[in-house]
Amino acid sequence: MLVLLGIAVVVVGFVARINPLLVILVAAIVTGVTAALEPGVEVRELVQAAVATLAAFGEAFNDNRYFHITWLILPVIGLLERAGLQERARTLIAQVRAATAGRLLLSYLVVRQATSALGLTSLGGHPQMVRPLVAPMAEGAAEVQAGGNLPDRVRFRIRSMSAATDNIGLFFGEDIFIAIGSIVLMVGFLEQAGIIVEPLQLSVWAIPTAIAAFVVHGVRLLLFDREIRRGLAARDAETGR
């Protein structure tokens, strides 16, 4: 039961808002060390268990390194932003009178979750989609609603909700795709525990969770416009407009 201490580390780390990567790393080391705890075990063996855990992390990183793609994307996004991509996105969405930040993000959630369910997880993302397009368009829609500039608190709230929408659409959509890495990982883990399941079974049972996540976050996005209006009303009350 001591290996469950790793879960406790994850819970405490997330509650304390510590860096998630650091929390996961510490939880993995705690799990690896506690798994090696036996009567009469030596400190040297515990250190070896910790080193073996770190080695497993390094091997996984080496086998699944995709950071070279990021270094190709970032210069392209930077050039597009310098050429006025965000301003163009704001101008475009400002011409759609029916558009609001909540409706726009709801549309993006539909697209993001649907494409992720088909395995097209690279079509979205924070650096290549949220920052240069989705967030500026949502801000532009809110600026039309506000009739001018947005308070910083509202602007940052829109940006955070844009990032959250991308995360939720990807996280709950990708498990529907049968050949995604998370499905393969779960199948392998369950097989090691003596539980044999087919990847298709996991994909099918991920559909109700994806639907529930879409409904819950969709309602949040529809209510998000009210939150923006309250923020604008608070600003107007402070400035006496």
- The predicted pLDDT at position 62 comes to 58
Closest CA to 2 of 25, 32, 45: 32
- The predicted pLDDT at position 80 comes to 64
| Residue 171 one-letter amino acid | F
Contact indicator for 13, 26 with CB cutoff of 8 Å: yes
Judged against a pLDDT cut of 70, whether residue 168 lies above it is answered with yes
Contact indicator for 25, 57 with CB cutoff of 8 Å: yes
Cα separation, 190 vs 187, whole angstroms: 5
- The predicted pLDDT at position 238 comes to 72
SS3 label, residue 43: helix
Give the count of alpha carbons within 13 A of 229, CB side only. Answer: 8
Which residues, in sequence order, are CB contacts of 194 under 8 Å at separation 6+? none
Q: Is the pTM of this model over 0.75?
A: no
- The predicted pLDDT at position 26 comes to 85
DSSP 97-159: TT--HHHHHHHHHHHHHHHHHTT-GGG--IIIIIIIIIHHHHHHHHHHHHTSPPPHHHHHHHH
Q: Which residue has the higher pLDDT, 65 or 224?
A: 224
pLDDT band (50, 70, 90) for residue 114: very high
Maximum pairwise Cα distance, the chain: 74
Which residues, in sequence order, are CB contacts of 218 under 8 Å at separation 6+? 106, 109
Instruction: Tell me the percentage of the chain whose pLDDT exceeds 90.
Output: 21
| Residue 81 one-letter amino acid | E
Region of 119 (left: φ > 0; alpha: ψ -120 to 50; beta: rest) is left
Question: Could you report the per-residue pLDDT of 118-159, keeping only the tens digit for each?
Answer: 988 888 888 888 888 898 889 888 888 777 788 888 889 999
- The predicted pLDDT at position 67 comes to 46
Judged against a pLDDT cut of 90, whether residue 85 lies above it is answered with no
Cα separation, 181 vs 63, whole angstroms: 13
- The predicted pLDDT at position 73 comes to 61
Mean pLDDT of the chain: 81
Cα separation, 59 vs 41, whole angstroms: 26
Query: So where are the chain's domains?
Result: 2-63, 84-239
Tell me how far apart the terminal alpha carbons of the chain are, to the nearest angstrom.
61
Burial profile 162-193: b = 16 or more Cβ within 10 angstroms, e = fewer: bebbbbbbbebbbbbbbebeebeebbeeeeee
SS3 label, residue 179: coil
Which residues, in sequence order, are CB contacts of 35 under 8 Å at separation 6+? 2, 3, 49
Judged against a pLDDT cut of 90, whether residue 9 lies above it is answered with no
Entry field: residues in the chain = 241
Question: Could you report the per-residue pLDDT of 42-81, keeping only the tens digit for each?
Answer: 777 777 877 887 777 666 665 555 444 555 566 666 666 6
